[in-house]
Homo-oligomer: A and B are copies of this chain.
């Protein structure tokens, strides 16, 4: 499949910085005023590249992260930019039990689920999990020597036992906070979508997620950038 315009939809500015630098993207200000999303654009060969971060929360002075901001980011980016492929690069937690290691980079496949939308009414239970199909990344992963797996999204950086039970039930190997939300909006518009996730921490070891996350955010963002640039080169043909 040949693409003309790729939107990279991202949460945190620190995750995005190395990609913005590597691809030489220009900061164009806010995507849509008065919304917080920051818009960067550029080209790679014949490929138009848009990168949108969810921007900063003025009140708490932190980046907008999580599923709610991701929905607003994706809907605004699609409305204004009409990309023909959406990629969500970001950092994430991995699982020792699934062979995950810090620094690994995963492509989502075959689907992206929610692990904290429990609605125990028939029909709504499956709706809550979502199970959004994503772009078939298997060839891309094979050619670039990356892992693939089911990405699992939730609103919290930590987890409850119920979260882990759900992740286990569908075989999730990457835990993060945005991909399923972007997958849903992309699916409504029938735009191909996949996530690229760089592992900052291991969910099923003894160190609290937040400690490992902060310690490894910079290095994981650099690995993420390296792989995103390889993916863009590959897609640009």
Chain A, 204-231, CB within 8 A of any chain B CB: 208, 210, 213-214
Interface with B: A44-52, A61-69, A84-92, A142-150, which one?
A61-69
Q: List CB contacts (< 8 Å) of A141-188 with chain B.
A: 154-158, 160-162, 181, 184-185, 188
Copies in the complex: 2
Decide if A128 touches B156 in the complex (CB within 8 Å): yes
Question: By the criterion CB–CB under 8 Å, are B156 and A116 in contact?
Answer: yes
List the B side residues contacting A237 at CB < 8 Å.
none
In the docked arrangement, what's the CA distance between A185 and B35, Å?
9
- CB-CB under 8 A from A120, the residues of chain B are 157-158, 208, 210
Contact A188-B36, Cβ < 8 Å, known A116-B116, A121-B214, A156-B119: yes
> Roughly how many angstroms separate A174 CA and B65 CA in the complex, as a whole number?
25
Q: How many residues on A have C-beta within 8 angstroms of the other chain's C-beta atoms? A: 47
Closest B residue by C-beta to A158 = B118
Selecting from A14-22, A71-79, A99-107, A193-201, the interface stretch reads: A71-79
Residues from chain B with a CB closer than 8 A to the CB of A117 are 66, 155-156
Please state if A123 and B61 are interface contacts (CB–CB under 8 Å).
yes
- Could you say which of B116, B123, B185 contacts A60, with CB atoms under 8 Å apart? B123
Cβ of A41 to closest chain B Cβ, rounded Å: 21
A22: shortest Cβ distance to chain B, in Å? 26
Which chain B positions have C-beta within 8 A of A39?
A: none
**Is A98 engaged at the interface, CB distance under 8 Å to the other chain?**
no
Q: Which residue of B lies closest to A161 (CB)?
A: B160
Interface flag for A109 (CB, 8 Å): no
20 A-B residue pairs with Cβ-Cβ distance under 8 Å, sorted by A, are A34-B189, A35-B188, A57-B127, A59-B127, A60-B127, A61-B123, A68-B184, A72-B75, A75-B76, A117-B155, A118-B156, A118-B158, A119-B156, A119-B157, A120-B208, A120-B210, A121-B213, A121-B214, A124-B157, A160-B161
The 5 closest A-B pairs by CB, nearest first: A118-B156, A60-B127, A71-B71, A117-B155, A62-B123
